[in-house]
């Protein structure tokens, strides 16, 4: 909590700790006579309590299998010409959390680059293809946030 404001953050341990906000800053200085405001805050804390209980149960029942891929993103395949291509991560190309670019290897041994970005200019990439840029195998829209939060 920050004074009379509240924000829920999520964090993961990678090669460094990555923390991102899951909600905006929510003011707790509400008018207690306004039932809608009180209900909104009550629902927030109730939902947070249930989420923490479920997260605790999840980790109690989690069967961990040691893997050299545990510090890499969970996405390990992409669609290409009607089939799913599996790959494993080798390393992060830049030690910079603002540029999530990974070196990976397909099952056939071909080295690829995996990049996560909220938007990408495919036209600019194609214009530069005559110079030196890797061929694009697949572009997959990340819609998980839309499914979870209705954005």
Instruction: Supply the Cα-derived Rg of the chain in whole angstroms.
Output: 21
Q: Describe the chain by its helix, strand, coil percentages, rounded to 5.
A: 25, 30, 45
Assessment of whether the complete model's pTM goes beyond 0.85 = no
Task: Provide the terminal-to-terminal Cα distance of the chain, rounded to the nearest Å.
Answer: 25
Stated length of the chain: 151
- Greater model confidence, 89 or 64: 89
Q: What is the pLDDT of residues 50-64, one digit of tens each?
A: 999 999 999 898 888
Asked if the model's pLDDT at residue 140 lies above 80, the reply is: no
Burial class (CB in 10 A: 0-12, 13-18, 19+), 95: exposed
Q: What is the pLDDT of residues 111-136, one digit of tens each?
A: 888 887 777 787 887 777 777 777 77
């Amino acid at each position: 909590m920050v004074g009379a404001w509240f924000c829920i953050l999520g964090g993961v341990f990678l090669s460094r700790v990555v923390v991102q906000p899951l909600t905006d800053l929510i003011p707790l200085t509400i008018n207690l006579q306004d039932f809608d405001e009180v209900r909104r805050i009550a629902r927030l804390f109730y939902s947070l309590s249930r989420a923490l209980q479920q997260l605790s149960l999840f980790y109690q029942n989690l069967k961990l299998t040691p893997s050299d891929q545990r510090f890499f993103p969970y996405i390990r395949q992409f669609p290409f010409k009607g089939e799913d291509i599996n790959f494993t991560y080798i390393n992060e190309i830049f030690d910079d959390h603002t540029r999530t670019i990974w070196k990976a290897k397909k099952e056939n041994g071909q080295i690829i680059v995996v990049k996560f970005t909220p938007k990408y200019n495919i036209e600019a990439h194609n214009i530069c293809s005559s110079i030196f840029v890797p061929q694009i195998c697949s572009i997959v829209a990340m819609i998980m946030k839309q499914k979870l939060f209705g954005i």
